[in-house]
A and B are shown apart, each in its own frame.
Chain A
Amino acid sequence: MPSLKDIKTQINSVGSTKKITSAMKMVAASKLRRSQEKAEAARPYSSRLEEMLSSLASSAASGEGIIKLLTGTGNDQNYIVVPVSADRGLCGGFNSSINRETFKLVKSLEGNGKKVQLMPVGKKSRDFFNRVMKDQIIESFVDLNVSSTGYESALNISNKLQELYFEGKFDKCILVFNKFKSAISQEVTQQQLIPLDVSNSEKEEEKENSSNAIYDYEPDEETILKDLLPKNVSIQIFKVLLESDAGEQGARMAAMDNATRNAGEMIDSLTLKYNRTRQAFITKELIEIISGAESI
């Protein structure tokens, strides 16, 4: 039977853990609000860019150079997979689900005879893939801090990707990230970034546009498209980074909320145990005193 002092120490240590987790929950909640605002603010730009792109995309039949971002290289052999995770842990299954999903994707692509390379974003996925597939990592991005550095960080990733693409290092690029569904739920999502998948970008809008819009293009469609495509890659990455950031905070908030509740339950049961033990000691002492008195 543990002594009273042991139980007391245990209660104290669980109590301080509870304090930490509930503080982390508060911090995550306020960060979540900020990340959500950021994600909200970025929406008009990306949705308008998509609209423009979808009305232009039809004009690019085939092409060389930059247009390849839209039409593809014509090959389907070399893949690059970009898992987007957080830099820090303690956020439930947020990071591990990204890593698991990416791992599965890589294995299934390899099973089909494709060559896959990795470009992890965020410390948690970098560390994971450093352990399991070190030789396939070509570049990694950590400590991005999207909510403070903003668009710059997305630009770095996008520039690197495009550089590799035009060197012919890969044919397709797939992002794996946590889509922000609500404050407490995220959904692991795969998105093909290069070549651009126009079909999924809001079809409704496209219809609306094509019905009333015959645009003049200045200088001409191709030049605009050439400017637009690289920007679209960066903005897509930016959007994903923001979503993932908001998702991370949400996941951490939920995880810490759980942890706080569990710690509370644990303290309750430990306190009960403490009281019982104490009571047992008192009873034992009483019995000793009484039987001592009787024997006299």
Chain B
Amino acid sequence: MATISFDLVSPENLIFNDDVGTIIVPGKDGDLGVLPGHSQVMSSLRPGRVMVYSEDKNLVKSFFVSGGFAEINPEKCIVLAESVVELNSLDKSSIEKEIEELGSKESKESEEQLSIAKAKLEAITVSFYDKI
């Protein structure tokens, strides 16, 4: 089984760079499963999970991104994300608190943050496969 090179980049640094088996990317219109040899796609992302699986289909890493872009070609997948956190470093109660706080404010900015926070909550509560 072939591998595909995957880069996860934030404005501050390069977060992940390795050859992997499969990546699941939260595209704007739905999740994209990226395998080696994927056709060339450029997509913008919605807030959600980026899941990285190894060649033998085990989950390697999972991240939460608050949006960004993905550039995919047969050999390489690049995700540019504005803020990236590792999924297992997120804490459910603090996100719930954030949502509550943001809900009481009413501005365009807080609305945006609210939708990101909600997506964050969803990302950690919804189950996923450790192996595909």
Contacts and interface: CB of A to CB of B under 8 A. Distances in A.
Q: Do A and B bind each other?
A: yes
A200 B59 CA distance: 41
B2 interface: no
Contacts of A5: none
B69 A224 contact: yes
B9 interface: yes
A215 B12 contact: no
B13 A42 contact: yes
B11 to A, nearest CB: 5
Interface string B64-75: 000111010100
A48 B80 contact: yes
Contact of A45 (B44, B67, B80): B80
Given A218-B29, A219-B28, A52 B71 contact: yes
Contacts of A49: 69, 80
The prevalent SS among residues of A at the interface is helix
Contact of B11 (A52, A55, A151, A213): A151
Contacts of A219: 28-29, 43-44
A48 B13 CA distance: 13
B7 interface: yes
A132 interface: no
A179 interface: no
Interface in B4-33: 7, 9-14, 27-29, 32
Nearest to A223: B44
Given A48-B71, A228-B69, A217 B12 contact: no
B9 A48 contact: yes
B41 interface: yes
B27 A52 contact: no
Interface string A205-225: 000000001111111000110
A238 interface: yes
Contacts of A215: 40-42, 71
Given A213-B73, A218-B28, A224 B12 contact: no
A44 interface: yes
A41 interface: yes
Interface in A214-242: 214-219, 223-224, 227-228, 231, 234-235, 238
Interface of B: 7, 9-14, 27-29, 32, 39-44, 67-69, 71, 73, 78, 80, 82
17 contacts: A45-B14, A48-B80, A49-B69, A49-B80, A52-B80, A214-B40, A215-B71, A217-B41, A218-B41, A218-B42, A219-B29, A223-B28, A224-B43, A224-B44, A228-B69, A231-B68, A234-B11
Given A49-B69, A56-B42, 13 more contacts: A41-B12, A41-B14, A44-B14, A45-B10, A48-B9, A48-B78, A48-B80, A151-B11, A215-B40, A215-B71, A224-B43, A224-B69, A238-B11
